[in-house]
Amino acid sequence: MTRPELALRHARAAFERAHLVAALRGLAISAAVAVLAIGLHRTDDTTWLFAGSLAITLGVLGWRGGAWRRGAFAGVLAGLPPLIVPAIIVAAGNGGHCASCADGASWTCLLACFGTSSLLGMFVGHRASTDASPPRFATAAIASAALTGLLGCGTTGLGGAIGVVAGLVAGGVTGWIVAARTAHV
pLDDT one-digit tens code per residue, 102-111:
555 667 777 7
Q: What does the pLDDT read at residue 111?
A: 75
Q: Render pLDDT for 21-71 as a digit per residue (tens, 0 to 9).
A: 999 999 999 999 999 988 887 777 778 888 999 999 999 999 999 999 999
Q: Give pLDDT, residue 100.
A: 53
- DSSP-derived 3-state class of residue 101: coil
Range of the domain at 10: 3-184
Asked whether the beta carbons of 143 and 73 are under 8 A apart, the reply is no
pLDDT digits (tens, 9 = 90+) for 111-137: 777 777 777 878 888 888 888 888 899
Q: Is the separation of the CB atoms in 131 and 141 below 8 Å?
A: no
Number of domains in the chain: 1
Are the beta carbons of 77 and 127 closer than 8 angstroms? no
pLDDT at 52: 95
According to the model, what pLDDT value does residue 34 have?
93
Query: For the range 111-114, what are the long-range contacts, defined as Cβ-Cβ under 8 Å and sequence gap of 24 or more?
Result: 112/85, 112/86, 113/81, 113/82, 113/85, 113/86, 113/149, 113/152, 113/156, 113/157, 113/159, 113/160, 113/163, 114/159, 114/160, 114/162, 114/163
pLDDT of residue 53: 95
Whole-number average pLDDT of the chain: 81
79 against 26, higher pLDDT: 26
Percent of the chain past pLDDT 70, that is, above it, reads: 80
